[in-house]
Structure 1
């Protein structure tokens, strides 16, 4: 229910810009597409960038009209005084601007400015996203004088939660009509991810939105509306449990604790207001309280009914996950600690502006330890999984200070608003504060996404407008400026110019790349699609890197020397383009080494092996603990028959990761090729007892090579067993089939 309009207060008109923001708050968490390479965060980020461009167009139109009315002399002269008044009236907003300035400075000084400008792949947290989130804060603050604004934000959050939680529960029940390849699991149970793309991100959003959904349900006028909001609340809680996200569970507990604290503080103001207005509570108010308690009881029953099937679906995974809360022995906990340590070292080495906005992934290889590689084999995190560490590492002390100031001012505004004169403001501050605490708590073990960040920004804008009680008895607002048509044209033209490189071109490139990546790695369709994507967004290093991979594989399959040379030259050029954009790319440098080595075989007079070795050495320097980078070098030497160099590379990998099977398998193969079958068998026996990390082809090769060594040693029973193990992994493995037949003949058994 909206607060009554004050006497002589003008009737508020709903702004199209306000509805645009509310629509995006409802739609962004729910939107996803299967037509782009990244299905979830990319469409959400581009949606909000589009909204922010429209907000910028409106701001430009308004200021352009103001400048036209005040004249070319008065308008610029008044700007300093206006800025001072604004900063005094909105210190939170001033700190938000400071944070955006930090993001801009970190982009300019970044080790990878292009990533800062456009966002890292699978992250999309570049400068446009930071500006978009800030624009939500300022839009929300501008509309917060309307008492309907916060209930409308809560309504948007309820719509998004209903879609996200509903789809997640469909996944839990096995009724998801869409098939997904990239899913997270725990203890054999597939973790639901809804419309957010990952269980942790789903849990984070639902935790932040849940207090708003509950508040909206408690304020609903009809029982049908209350039932709808309570159903969304119950579904959200059930989905939060089913995500198996420890961060979301802890954040939910923190949100509840914050609600209790803020509710207690607001209760004092409620009681004083009640005594001043009416000495005794009326029967109507007692009836309203009874209805609230009845709604809460029904909600608890609905929650219990929703959690029973969730607990049954999760089985033993739920209690096992609960036991892992706070356990340092958990692999994911250990991984987080190692990432935070790396982020701390980044911040220490780059104390002012950090390594660069959204450049955590770019910088991480320099700070990765051997222990991290063993815990998260083959992984390079895009984020620090702690927002404070992320900001300190990527934006330095400047960004961290600005972020802490924003948190401090928002906390102060929320605390003060719980003693506001308006019951709506007090109640809204309690539930908004609980939502913001839930958001901030999960950020300590995760990271901000565009969905959680924009919701938090909208709430921060609302509570900031109530700082110091100014919203309780506001002065009449200044008459809004109606932008002139010419100013609108200028604003929309500027927004359109930015829309092309930051929204339209990335969408076209993602569509082309998505279709290309659906084709086989060596196919011409894939190569042409990636070339198209690169041509559309020449600043994206991911497309030429993937193009180089396809060309390199195609070159290895080519039988004609001239064709192979041409493909290798194209692969080399593609990798070079990727490295020019992102010089930190170690894997692409190792691929260049492989391409040069293959070219040296074809035309040794034009390309020497020394160039290949230099590329391999540079790759090792950039990412010294990356087994996959070292493996590229070892595979190259092994394929060329350079056994001594291959052996040296394999020994480096084995020393780096003693539990990785591949280098031991290759050492056994080298020994077998040299005729040292006893040593080969011993090494290969060791290899097959280790971890191939899902590389079934290498595992089958190792068992087959072990079978061959046994054949040469006359150990035919062992050879038969090893060959059969190889065929269990890859039933069509030709060498294993041959070894099995040889062993059977030697044993006098039928084939």
Structure 2
């Protein structure tokens, strides 16, 4: 018997591993007081896109189907028009690069590097693992009083992102919850579903301690949608588990502190007695709407919102927020965006940009839901998982992002993860949803003789 090691071939090493490396890199601490420039994760994303391009050239195959090219390429139209109307060439160039990275190039690269459902599940579990790490850091910050400042107390869980990206940990943990819920509701092996349920429940603690109302709302809406898509029986079970988890968190573990209860209650007080953060947000929304009225078709140009903000905002705007804690000194953080992705696009890119960008997202969601319907039909006809877990993860990520964009926009190190999740969802919507999983084979393992992506997607 030969003791020689089996050589690693391109078929044994998944091409999605560089994307997993991007996810892992987001677990490293961010530089305190960073100004939101390029991060190591952004640089690695550029290498992933280059790696994907070289791989396509070596394989000499058509990169994307016609439908995938149209859906993923649609935002380019609005971005190009808005870049032409930017206040300066530098702003136009930097804005174009950022939007293309987040909404076109990285999602397309992730789509092309995922070979099958096994690669999809690997990337989904890596998101759960990153959420677990960031959540553990966040809980430690809350317990030890070393988090970001919240109402004068250093208790806000922000993970390794620091107070300069106060939404970073909440976004990462929410993505982990959505992935875990999708994996738990699918027809996967029992052990995997049990682990996924445990991860989802554990991640609810750091999500609560993030004090992020937008992330709470988006996660609750998404989990409800995932449960409904999985079927009535799964929806009832998920509801029962959620109620039980809430009782344990609030009562048994003491997570329901006065500040947390006050934060939850403030969700219903955004019109009656809004706090300053809500007032600032309303004022910024009104300013974005005013910019759109001035230039309804093309907007004021990429990265031009800060320049036009004061001309359209009322005196109720505080113009900056205070940030400190989690290893960073006190700092006044200027409010340079409306904290609403749809209004940011509408103000800077106009109706053309909003229709092309939001149209691309809605097309992905429609294709993902159609793929989910096919997966359920396959599971009923042939048995087995049928890719239902992948479908629920994809639909969940899209629903979460589209809901969260009502309260947030792109910016900060965690934005890279938005691009990765869009690519993950795009693979199912544009390629994986119509792929058959050969019977008698473990979920996610690729057939040895043929690359699943060689067959053109719809």
CA displacement 1:225-265 (0-9 Å, x = unmatched) = 66654443233211111122111121122112211331138
Q: 1:437 to 1:52 in 2, by over 3 A?
A: same
Q: In 1, are the aligned partners of 2:85 and 2:302 still within 8 Å (CA)?
A: no
Instruction: Give runs of aligned pairs for residues 75-114 of structure 1, distance below 5 A.
Output: 86-87=65-66, 89-90=67-68, 93-114=69-90
Q: 1:248 to 1:54 in 2, by over 3 A?
A: closer
Counterpart for residue 131 of structure 2: 161
Q: In 1, are the aligned partners of 2:174 and 2:219 still within 8 Å (CA)?
A: yes
Q: Distance in 1 between matches of 2:281 and 2:257?
A: 26
Which residue of the other structure, out of 159, 168, 171, is the alignment partner of 1:194? 159
Counterpart for residue 319 of structure 1: 261
Q: Distance in 2 between matches of 1:379 and 1:52?
A: 28
Counterpart for residue 427 of structure 1: 389
Q: Say which SS state the counterpart of residue 148 (structure 1) adopts.
A: helix
Q: 1:63 to 1:128 in 2, by over 3 A?
A: farther
Counterpart for residue 150 of structure 1: 120
Q: 1:458 to 1:64 in 2, by over 3 A?
A: closer
TM-score of the aligned structures, taking structure 1 as reference length: 0.48
Q: In 1, are the aligned partners of 2:75 and 2:103 still within 8 Å (CA)?
A: no
Q: Distance in 1 between matches of 2:296 and 2:92?
A: 17
Q: 1:253 to 1:352 in 2, by over 3 A?
A: same
Counterpart for residue 458 of structure 1: 423
Greater per-residue helix proportion: 1
Q: In 2, are the aligned partners of 1:194 and 1:202 still within 8 Å (CA)?
A: yes
Q: 1:254 to 1:61 in 2, by over 3 A?
A: closer
Q: 1:231 to 1:55 in 2, by over 3 A?
A: same
Counterpart for residue 3 of structure 2: none
CA apart distance, 1:306: 5.1
Q: Distance in 1 between matches of 2:108 and 2:13?
A: 15
CA apart distance, 1:155: 1.0
Q: Distance in 2 between matches of 1:230 and 1:335?
A: 37
CA apart distance, 1:32: 2.5
Q: Distance in 2 between matches of 1:130 and 1:116?
A: 12
Q: Distance in 2 between matches of 1:258 and 1:12?
A: 38
CA apart distance, 1:38: 0.8
Counterpart for residue 47 of structure 1: 41
Q: Say which SS state the counterpart of residue 190 (structure 1) adopts.
A: strand
Which residues of structure 1 form unaligned runs of 5+? Answer: 1-10, 68-81, 120-125, 268-288, 481-751
Root-mean-square deviation over aligned CA pairs: 3.8
Counterpart for residue 470 of structure 1: 434
Q: 1:399 to 1:46 in 2, by over 3 A?
A: farther
Which residues of structure 2 form unaligned runs of 5+? Answer: 1-8, 323-331, 380-385, 439-449
Counterpart for residue 348 of structure 1: 293
Number of residue pairs matched by the alignment: 408
The structure whose RCO (Cα within 8 Å, separation 6+) is larger is: 2
Counterpart for residue 369 of structure 1: 314
CA apart distance, 1:296: 11
Q: In 2, are the aligned partners of 1:29 and 1:164 still within 8 Å (CA)?
A: no
Q: In 2, are the aligned partners of 1:133 and 1:457 still within 8 Å (CA)?
A: yes
2:34 corresponds to 1:38? yes
| Largest Rg, 1 or 2 | 1
